[in-house]
Every structure is written in structure tokens, then in C-alpha cells.
Amino acid sequence: MKIATWNVNSLNVRLPHVLAWLASEQPDVLCLQETKLEDAKFPFDAVQAAGYHAVHAGQKTYNGVAILSKHALADVSINLPNYPDEQKRVIAATTNGIRIVCAYMPNGQSLDSDKYQYKLAWLAALRDWLANEIAQHPELALLGDYNIAPEDRDVHDPAAWAGQVLVSPPERAAFQALTALGLTDAFRLFEDQPGHYSWWDYRMAAFRRNLGLRIDHILLTPPLKTICTRCWVDKAPRKLERPSDHTPVIAELKKI
DNA sequence: ATGGCTTATTGTATAAGA
């Protein structure tokens, strides 16, 4: 079973990339972030024609999350019940016996921004809600754009980024609070070296120079960690015309 | 060198992303 996450930065623009990637990679589950679409405009027909069920929680212009699955999607829940929010950043569902949580975590903008306080409060609410969710669904995966590079080895130039948003100690502490729930960063089960990223700035030829950050993650509860056989970043979509600034992260689970 | 791209918006410049 392959599960994946991809911040597409507008599904309207990126739908051809997504459909091509589904066809070539055949993931069982694909979590999308930043669809930037109202639910009425989500391309359910194209996704269904590609062989996928889909659930979406979106809004105009900003945010928006979706789960695509080859398997039926049940018990869908949207947003954090303990954090009332206009912004559509979380969708969860059960598929093929696994609880999938798809999240687009706040960016934070800068440490002196109100959005940074929102980010930290949102992450605390996510943690609290996940503690319950994991208790109810021991086989759970949290996939998405975390907007946090957990460690310096996830940053192309740690000195230049030190103390900035996406790497600041309070954000990294919030990431650690998630792993303290028993969740494991699937990518780091198999790779301990720096230089592996999931996002590159559109500017400064950052992708060609591999000036990136690893901010898209797949976290697994213990039962899924034990059956995880591989986790990798697929850089191929970042090389296409008009790419998203993020690329997919995929985990393979030895299940069914 | 705080710039540099990309997306969306009842647009023609601004906001936001990361």
C-alpha cells in the first residue's frame, strides 16, 4: 500500500500533473494540500475517472485539503473540532483499514506576525485532537505540509535559516510534541543524511541548486511504522513545466 | 544584494506563500 502527500499550490493549475502522477505512480492514497478551490469546483469527475474516491474540504483562494484513495473513504471529518477555524486545513478519513489525516499546517509568515501565534495555537490544538484520534484509530498516518523543517539536516543552509519561521525552536517543539504522541517520521526511518527536501523556492533557481527544505512529512503510529518498508521524495513533478513548489512524499506500507 | 517566482483577485497592484 502506497500513501502519499503533495502540496499542489492550486489544483486548478496542477490537475494535469496530479492525474499524470496518479497514473504513473498508482498510489493507494494521495493527500493534497492548497487546492485553493471551493468544494463545488473540485474535479470529482476527473479523479473518479482516474480510479479514485475523493473527499475535499476547500475554500476560495486559500488552503483546501483533499484525500484521494483507490479504496472507499469512511468516517470523514473536517478541521479540528477543538479549534474553530474558517480556514480549511484538515480532512481525515478511514480507508483500507487505515486512518488518514491530511493537514495543511499554517505557514506562520514570520516570528513577529499574528500568523505565527495562530500557527503555534493551531499546532497545539492538532496535538490535542490527535491524541484522541490515535486512541480511536491505532493505525493512523498524519500526512501533509507541516511547514516545519524538524531538524537542521532538513534545511539546505541551517545558518542562514537559523531562528526563521519554519525552523524556529517553538515550531520544532510543536513537531516534537507530535512525535511524543508515538508518531514516527517515516522518511527518517530510511535516510539520515541531509540534502533531501520536499520544497524549493520558485526564485533563485533554488530547485536546480537544491536549495530546499524538508517540510512535507508522513508520520506513522507504531503499528504502521513496523510495516513501513520505504519512504521517499519524488522530485520528478518538480521538473515539469509550471510545477508546484512542493513535490510528493510517498511511504510504502506492507499491507494487503 | 531582504531581491529573486507563482497564484489568485470582481486585478491592472496587492497579498500570500515558505
A9: nt with nearest C1' to CA: B7
- What confidence tens digit (pLDDT) does each residue in A68-118 have? 999 999 999 999 999 999 999 999 999 999 999 999 999 999 999 999 999
pLDDT score at A93: 98
Distance separating alpha carbons of residues A8 and A29, to the nearest angstrom: 15
Does the annotation count A45 as an active-site position?
no
In strand B, the nucleotides that come within 7 Å of a protein beta carbon are: 4-9, 16-18
Q: How far is the CA of A166 from the C1' of B1 (A)?
A: 23
The confidence band for A131, taking pLDDT boundaries of 50, 70 and 90, is very high
- What confidence tens digit (pLDDT) does each residue in A9-54 have? 999 999 999 999 999 999 999 999 999 999 999 999 999 999 999 9
pLDDT score at A255: 74
Q: Is the model's pLDDT at A149 over the cut of 90?
A: yes
Distance separating alpha carbons of residues A233 and A33, to the nearest angstrom: 16
Segment A157-185 mean pLDDT: 97
Q: Which of residues 66-105 of A touch strand B (CB under 7 A)?
A: none
Q: How far is the CA of A196 from the C1' of B7 (A)?
A: 26
Place of cell 518538480: A238
pTM for the complete prediction? 0.97
- What confidence tens digit (pLDDT) does each residue in A185-204 have? 999 999 999 999 999 999 99
Q: Is the model's pLDDT at A133 over the cut of 80?
A: yes
Name residues whose C-beta falls within 8 Å of residue A181's C-beta, 6 or more positions apart in sequence: A127, A130, A131, A134
Sign of CA dihedral A17, A210, A231, A92: negative
Segment A147-165 mean pLDDT: 97
Q: Is the CB of A209 under 7 A from strand B?
A: no
- What confidence tens digit (pLDDT) does each residue in A206-245 have? 999 999 999 999 999 999 999 999 999 999 999 999 999 9
